[in-house]
Amino acid sequence: MSLINTGVDSAIAIAERRRGKLGAALFAGRPESVFLRNVYALKSSNWLVVLSGFVEPVFYLLAFGYGLGKLIGGITDASGNPIPYAAYIAPALLATSAMNGAIYDSTWNVFFKMHFGKIYQAMLSTSLGPLDVAMGEIGWALARGFIYAVGFMAVVTPMGLIRSWWGLMAIPAAVLIAFGFASVGMGITSYLKNFHQMDWVNFFMLPMFLFSGTFYSLSVYPDWLRTIIEALPLYQAIAMIRGFTLGYVDGALVGHILYFVVMIVLGLLFTTKRLRALFLS
């Protein structure tokens, strides 16, 4: 057997092709190999756990939208049009589940891979760069977010809760939201040292879920509080998806989208820097 490869498609030849390209030390152009690793891992994992991410927002919708919604009746939008309560909270639940899925993937899963599985250590002893790892992992979180979003839409559309064709845009919007949270979340996770600190993540997530205009309009708040909430990513996410599913497409939507584009870029830079510091310093 020959153990020393001199062929054209050797690992060395592949790595040398990137020489001189921008960011060659950080990025090998193969995030899909990291994604693929997760496909292999999923094949032999517990499918029920995967399914739970889809079921959660549906349960919330049934309990609050229909259970509580019966007591509330309908609400009216800014121009006075009536909206069924379930149709009001469905987009918020989709946004929240996109956030939760991305955060779960980028905190618990990433924490485990970082400290116990030593998966990243192995990946970064190959010719991969930290940006490949970050993008592959985040890409995985997005694929999951996409499937959950499609599933959720498949349930709520027949219920008549999507009130505009713009509602189709809720699916890519959910992916965009997941991207934003996953890219920042992975960087934050790199600072965490033990499982207890993970509770701090939940400590911020739960109030954000409850108070970001998920179940009621921000108009109930005083102005100063409203400004703070509007700056939080979940409010931006909810407003974006709600705009699409209710068909209120205006300039504000562009602002919400830009918010997440910036969050993604900063998050990726932050995470790549952290992975480099942790494994290649």
Footprint on this chain of other proteins (rule: CB under 8 A):
1-5, 9-12, 14-16, 18-19, 24-25, 28, 30, 33-34, 36-37, 40-41, 44-45, 117-119, 121-129, 279-281
- Provide the 3-class DSSP secondary structure of residue 116: coil
Q: Which is nearer to other proteins, 52 or 121 (CB)?
A: 121
Q: Which is nearer to other proteins, 85 or 120 (CB)?
A: 120
Q: Which is nearer to other proteins, 22 or 78 (CB)?
A: 22
Closest residue by Cα to residue 95 from 218, 191, 234: 234
The one-letter code for the residue type at 26 is L
Report CA Rg, the chain: 21
Q: Least separation, in Å, of the C-beta of 117 and other proteins?
A: 6
Q: Which is nearer to other proteins, 128 or 170 (CB)?
A: 128
Task: Give the DSSP H/E element, type plus range, for residue 230.
Answer: helix 223-231
Q: Which is nearer to other proteins, 98 or 128 (CB)?
A: 128
Q: Least separation, in Å, of the C-beta of 47 and other proteins?
A: 14
Closest residue by Cα to residue 262 from 190, 149, 184: 184
Q: Least separation, in Å, of the C-beta of 264 and other proteins?
A: 24
Q: Least separation, in Å, of the C-beta of 142 and other proteins?
A: 20
The C-alpha atoms of residue 214 and residue 220 are separated, in whole angstroms, by 13
Q: Which is nearer to other proteins, 40 or 224 (CB)?
A: 40
Q: Least separation, in Å, of the C-beta of 270 and other proteins?
A: 20
Q: What's the Cα-to-Cα distance from 25 to each of 126, 189, 270, 281, rounded to whole Å?
A: 12, 23, 16, 12
Closest residue by Cα to residue 96 from 184, 254, 215, 197: 215
End-to-end CA gap in the chain: 36
The C-alpha atoms of residue 69 and residue 252 are separated, in whole angstroms, by 27
Q: Least separation, in Å, of the C-beta of 181 and other proteins?
A: 24
Q: Which is nearer to other proteins, 31 or 180 (CB)?
A: 31
Q: Least separation, in Å, of the C-beta of 187 and other proteins?
A: 20
Residues whose CB is less than 8 angstroms from the CB of residue 163 and which lie 6 or more positions away in sequence, other chains included: 83, 87, 245, 246, 247
The C-alpha atoms of residue 35 and residue 140 are separated, in whole angstroms, by 6
Q: Which is nearer to other proteins, 18 or 226 (CB)?
A: 18
For the beta carbon of residue 43, count every other beta carbon within 10 angstroms.
8
Q: Least separation, in Å, of the C-beta of 53 and other proteins?
A: 18
